Every structure is written in C-alpha cells, then in structure tokens.
Structure 1
Amino acid sequence: MSELKNRILTQLITELEANKLVLPSLPEVALKVRDTLADENANTKAVAKVISTDAALSAKLIQVANSPLLRGTKHIDSVDMAVTRMGNTTVRNTVNSLIVQQIFQPTTDITDKLFRNFWAHSTEVAAISQALASMARLKPDQAMFAGLVHDIGALPIIKYAEDIPELLDKPDVLAEIIQELHTTIGVALLSSWEFPQDIINVAAKHEDLDYEPGGPADLVDVVIAANLQSYFGKEHPHAKMDWSEVPSFARLGLDTEVSVIDMDETGEAIKEVQESLRV
C-alpha cells in the first residue's frame, strides 16, 4: 500500500468514526416531499405543490413520468399529472434520485470528470435494475433508485479529494480508495438521510458476489446482477465474471447467457430510462 493511500484511508476512516467526515444533507425540498408523502391526509395536489417549488426538479419529474416504463396513452405536461400517474412510492424514489445528482457540485475539472463517470455508471445500473426487477416481479421504481445510489459512497470521497491535489494527481490511488471505502461511506450517508434499510443494504452488500439474503431475491440481488451486466463488453475485471457462478442471477431466475441490455424488449427501454436520468 502506498504511503498516500494509507494516509488518506486512515484520515477518512478516522473522520467517519468520529462523525467528522462531511456528509451532505438532503435539500429542504426532498425533506418536504418525504414529510408530505408520510402525511395520511396529503393528496396529490399537496405533493405536487411541494415539488413545484423547485423548477428543475419539476421538469425532471415530468420527463421521468413520460419515460417508457411509466408512459401512458396521454402525454404528461404538469407536475400534478406526473404525481397522479407515478403514485407516491415512485414519486418519492424519483425525487430522491433526482436530488442526488444536484447535491454534489464538483469544483475541479478532474472531479467533474469523476462525477460524470460515476453518474453514467449509476444511471446505467439504475436502468438495468429497473428492467431486471420487472422481470423478477420486484418493484421497478425501488430497484431503479437502489441502482442509482449503490455507489453513492464514492461521492463524499471524490469531494474530499478536491482539497488534496496530490491525490487528484494519482487517479489510480483515488480509485483504490473509493473501491475500499465506498460501501462503508455509502451506508453512513444513506443512514444519515434516514433512507429505508433495504436501500442501505444495497450500498453495503452490492460488492458481495456471494451474497445470500436468507430468502427470496431482494434489491441487493437485483443491483448485483445489474452492476455486473453494466460491465458487459467493457474493459473491467467484472466483465470477465461468469454470471452462472453468482447466486443472485439464479435467485432472480435470469438467463446467465444473455445480457438484458441486448434483449429487444428491454434494451431500448433501458436506454430511455438512462437518458431521463442523465445530468
């Protein structure tokens, strides 16, 4: 282990354990949406009113409502209509998804590139997760969100690196640090946001290719499979993985010889979902 890597790992772990590592807070609009949806007396108009206070969020929500896996016979052109079509659970997950990409604002060219690479991978895994969940009879919207935030622990590390020029000059070392700590920091971040335990479990366990839930397939299985499929045909160690040796594929009932991206009935939908989540 290099001296730089060892030093930064020690700093990050020490600050995390002492609750001194800077973790971003959820924006007020996300908290208000959560509170409104938790109110049994809240109706569609109340939810839409909160979302409408954020113009960028409103536009994105409408775009997602018109995406292929939610699209109905009528085009959606208002937040009220979007909320009605999507339902509370999908609205909550979609708002959280869209907020994530607004929270982290890179301040250097290097971290901007890292963030864009992170987001490209996250949106691909999210889109594949949504498709796989539909095939496995799990909830597609929850799977999409789980896929989107599975690597979210990388973002505080990237942000942390902005103040350490010598680390930015060594992208391989930074990548190793992210690989070692992103699950631990992801759990801390999602826990601080009070997200559901099944989403936190995805951040914690998605790198465990021998994962066993002790029951039927769950969101961790979906994201493990989606993450591996996202590397299909790319230059990455996971691209060489034999999917038949990964228990999650069997639990989901997936054909280990076919990538969902290449399937006619899902490939185009995956591309459109990715586009709807693009920065």
Structure 2
Amino acid sequence: MSTENALLTILVDRINNDTLVLPTLPEVAIKVRQAADSDDVNLIQMSDVISQDTALSARMIKVANSALIGRSVKASNLHQAVTRIGLHRIKMIATAMAMEQLFVSNNELIKSYMDKAWKKTLIVASHSMAVMELYLKNNKQNSLNRDSNILASLIYNIGVLPILTEAERHHEVFANPSFLAHAIQKLSGKVGGSILEAWEFPDEFVEVAKNWANPSYRPKEISYIDFIRIGAILEGTLQVSDKSAALQVYINKGIIPSLELFGSDEYNNLVDDVKTMFD
C-alpha cells in the first residue's frame, strides 16, 4: 500500500470509528459562549470575559468600528465595543474571531499549511461577508443573519485541522503535497461536521462544514453556503472551469445583481473593511 493510501486509510478509519482527535473550541470562545447563555450576564461582565484575551479584545473593537456595524462614532475601548455590538451578537462574533487560535502548530511545515489555510479562509470570509452585507441591504425580509454568516464564513473549512495534525505524524507524505490536498478535499467536510457537532453548534453550521464543497448539495433556499461558495469561487478555493458561469448561478438565485458587482468600489471597500478586522 502506498504511503498516501495508508494515511488516507488511517484517516477514514479514525473518522468512522470516532477516534480522530478533534480540536477543542478556544478557551476564550467557550467562556464567552457560556457567559452569553447566562440569563443574568451584563455588558460589564461580558467585557471582563473578553478582556482576558488581548488579541480578541482588539479584534472586537475593530468589529465594532467596521462597516458591518455601521456607526459613525468610533469605539475606543472594549466596553464601548461590546455595548455597540450588543450581547445577543457577541456570542457569534467572539467565537468567529477566536478561530485563528486553532490554526497554529509547532511543526514549521504544518504551520505553513495552516497559515495558508487561514489566509484563504479570511479571503473567502471577506467576500462572503461583503456579499451578505449588500444582499441584506436590498433584501430586508429574510431569515439570514449577518452574525451567523460571519461565524459560518470562518468555520466552514475547520475540517482541515485534524487532517493536517494527523499528517504531521507521517512526514513522508509531504513529499507529495497534492496528496494532502486530495485528503483535505475528500475528508474535510465530514471531519468539519464532526468538529462542530462535538462543539454543540446548531445544525445550520454543521451543514455548512459538511456540504459547502459538495457539488451535489444545492439548497433551493438561499443559505449561508451560497455566500461561502461565492467567496470560495472568487478566491479559487472552490475550483471551477468557468468562474463567470459558476457565479451566474447566484445571479439567477437573486443573491448578486450581476458580475459587475465585484468590480464596484462599494463592494471592494466592503471587502477591504472586513479584512482590516483581522489585521
């Protein structure tokens, strides 16, 4: 059996037997989610929880000052940021912002793969959020939520993490990077769904992780998967033979008005604004 097939067999067996080691939700995200679920938490207490993580605190201030929140007066501290974002939105946004903490490794080669995966995720997420923002601007009557889309856009490819971690134990596979790409393409959806189920995320997020890259999964109603797929097509993560034709699907579905959208200043300014939240 080839090295590639051996590793693939190991991965499949561990997934099927529920023995694949899955990443745990970052500690700060757990604390924020627990606090948000408490009936008596207030804004000051939530600020105290978030302030325990310096990087997350800075990122929450950026979120509060972004076009996604849309306030003219800027927040200058964490309490102002939490007040502006609001308790009902903090749970989603803080969880999303903490995701970067998972894409780390002490192995230089694995670290380079994780860095690349995270950067691609950010580009996809920036497009997804920008498209969502403009869609909601023109379609106010719908069940979609921009905060849920932020989280979905940053966890959609979470399944790559255990695959990279498992591959780290078999250094010889890195002689063939195309195999690693194949393993991720074949298994990351199922792994990602397992991770989010283990984290007790709602079904809509599990669905995103499991099916965003599955070409046979075509939801009739507009869903978060549509926005992630648009971002993935634009970034190149979702490889298609004809980008324009692939995006035409979303014109027909009423999500985007035309391909000219992606060349507009309004759209590109939104994408840039989203990207600054992660700088």
Name the TM-score, length of structure 2 as normaliser.
0.88
Aligned to 1:251: 253
Aligned with 1:83: secondary structure?
helix
Query: Alpha-carbon deviation of 1:256?
Result: 4.8
Aligned to 1:268: 269
Aligned with 2:277: secondary structure?
helix
Structure 2 gaps, min length 5: 137-143
Aligned to 1:202: 208
Map residues 61-210 of structure 1 onto 2, 5 A cutoff. Answer: 61-137=60-136, 138-210=144-216
Gap change, CA 1:230 and 1:90, over 3 Å in 2: farther
Aligned to 2:51: 52
Determine what percentage of the aligned residue pairs are the same residue: 28
Gap change, CA 1:212 and 1:173, over 3 Å in 2: closer
Query: Alpha-carbon deviation of 1:130?
Result: 1.0
Aligned with 1:110: secondary structure?
helix
Q: Which of these residues, 208, 217, 220, is aligned with residue 222 of structure 2? A: 217
Map residues 6-45 of structure 1 onto 2, 5 A cutoff. Answer: 6-45=5-44
Query: Alpha-carbon deviation of 1:249?
Result: 4.3
Contact 2:244 2:259 in 1 (8 A): no
Query: Alpha-carbon deviation of 1:88?
Result: 2.9
Aligned with 1:111: secondary structure?
helix
Letter in 1 for 2:115: R
Query: Alpha-carbon deviation of 1:211?
Result: 3.4
For residues 270 and 255 of structure 2, the distance between their equivalents in structure 1, rounded to whole angstroms, comes to 20
Cα deviations by residue, 1:102-129 (Å, 9 ceiling, x for unpaired): 1232122222221121111111111111
Cα deviations by residue, 1:11-47 (Å, 9 ceiling, x for unpaired): 0111122222111111332122112111222221121
Aligned with 2:233: secondary structure?
helix
Contact 2:26 2:101 in 1 (8 A): no
Structure 1 gaps, min length 5: none
92-101 or 188-197: bigger deviation: 92-101
Query: Alpha-carbon deviation of 1:71?
Result: 4.5
Letter in 2 for 1:258: E
Letter in 1 for 2:109: I
For residues 115 and 65 of structure 1, the distance between their equivalents in structure 2, rounded to whole angstroms, comes to 27
Contact 1:131 1:270 in 2 (8 A): yes
Q: Which of these residues, 240, 247, 268, is aligned with residue 242 of structure 2? A: 240
Letter in 1 for 2:176: K
Query: Alpha-carbon deviation of 1:95?
Result: 1.4
Cα deviations by residue, 1:215-261 (Å, 9 ceiling, x for unpaired): x3111122122211223xx9x8426334357644422432453353x
Aligned residues: 272
For residues 251 and 115 of structure 2, the distance between their equivalents in structure 1, rounded to whole angstroms, comes to 28
For residues 178 and 159 of structure 1, the distance between their equivalents in structure 2, rounded to whole angstroms, comes to 12
Aligned to 2:233: 228
For residues 204 and 10 of structure 1, the distance between their equivalents in structure 2, rounded to whole angstroms, comes to 20
For residues 147 and 134 of structure 2, the distance between their equivalents in structure 1, rounded to whole angstroms, comes to 13
Name the TM-score, length of structure 1 as normaliser.
0.88
